[in-house]
Amino acid sequence: MTQPRIHIVTLGVSDLPTSRRFYEALGWKASSASNENIAFLKGAAGVLALYGRAALAEDAHVEDQPAGFAGVTLARNAGSKAEVDAWFAAAVAAGARAVKPPQEAFWGGYSGYIADPDGHLWEFAFNPYFVFDEHGNLALPDETP
């Protein structure tokens, strides 16, 4: 059996060109596999896909509910508090809505939240207890307490 992986995270969006420009402004690179109906954006460790919200709901055979907190956030971990601040500022400059400015967190780290043009929440965080591997991927401990 192979290790569990997430290869693609797909976000349902209301305006594909606007969302694509937003994520490209944050450094995601569009693949030539993208077209007028879907954008595949390559990051260092995975793919973010953007697809029309109504079409995504139809494909999954679920009702397209009004936007609101869906109980899901996406996260990007930084190597420092300054990096969190820089990402937060870049996202807001690209059109994100500031939800919670970066600040000291109760768990000992530093984090803030933005909402993308469709309200999808992103947490930018520095966790002093996490390290990165030689490829920049989050390296969690293998053992459980």
- pLDDT tens, 30-40? 999 999 999 99
| Residue 81: both structure tokens together | 């508090």
Residues 129 and 77: beta-carbon distance below 8 Å = no
The pTM score is: 0.88
Q: Provide the token pair at 70.
A: 């869906």
Is the confidence at residue 143, as pLDDT, over 70? no
Instruction: Write the CA distances from 19 to 26, 32, 85, integer angstroms.
Output: 11, 17, 22
Q: How many CB atoms lie within 10 A of CB 115?
A: 17
Asked if 12 and 72 count as a contact pair (C-beta separation under 8 A), the reply is: no
Contact assessment for residue 77 and residue 89, using Cβ atoms and an 8 Å cutoff: no
Which H or E element spans position 33? none
The band of 98, judged by pLDDT with boundaries at 50, 70 and 90, is very high
